[in-house]
Amino acid sequence: MAPLLLAHSLAGIKAVGAVVRVELVTGHLLESHLGAIGSDWFSGVAPSGTGGAHVVRHRAIESLRIGAGSVPEVMAEPIAPPHLSAMLTHLGSRRTPLVVYTTRHHRRGRITTVGRDWFELSADRGSALIVPLDAVLWLHVAGDEPVDNIAH
């Protein structure tokens, strides 16, 4: 049997409805009910209803904690996990305000255009910024609405 991927473990956590604590390389700590799971990212919403939603790249994760016990095992491959650009297209179509975190900065705005490996972030001041997907660590999405209803 092939080793499980992080996406498999996340799918197992989502299946049992566990809240996961995510420590990020940026120093942020998120508590999350998991939503959509992509090949190298996941979405979630804070269980308290006050922390907003988020989209986190796997490379932004320092560690995951799920309380007592071990990570539930899921043997099946996730079905065609969506690319991060699919989630960004979804957020752009909703005109959702968000904060994009990279290794050195964070930027506020709304996604206006999404390419295969980049997106355009429009700031409230009218300026636009092109952001390569490889630069994105995680996104904080305004509001408490889950961000898991995306097209694959």
> Which residues pair with residue 49 across a beta bridge?
none
Residue 44: CATH number of its domain: 2.30.30.100
Q: How many structural domains are present in the chain?
A: 1
Residues of the chain with pLDDT under 70: 1-3, 49-50, 67-80, 144-152
- Establish if 132 belongs to a structural domain: yes
- Condensed to tens digits (0 to 9), the pLDDT of residues 69-98 reads 656 666 455 555 778 888 899 899 988 899
Average pLDDT, the chain: 83
148 located within any domain = no
- Asked whether residue 147 is assigned to any structural domain, the reply reads no
Q: Is residue 73 part of a domain?
A: yes
Residues 6+ apart with CB under 8 A from 53: 35, 43, 44, 45, 46, 140, 141, 143, 144, 145, 146, 147
Domain that holds residue 135: 6-141
Q: Convert the pLDDT of each residue in 109-118 to its tens digit.
A: 999 999 989 9
Other residues' Cβ atoms within 10 Å of the Cβ of residue 139: 25
pTM: 0.82
Position 15 in a domain: yes
Q: For residue 134, which of 47, 32, 59, 27 has the smallest C-alpha distance?
A: 59
Domain membership flag for residue 89: yes
Instruction: Assess if residue 77 is contained within a domain.
Output: yes
Within-domain flag for 151: no
Q: What single-letter amino acid sits at 35?
A: G
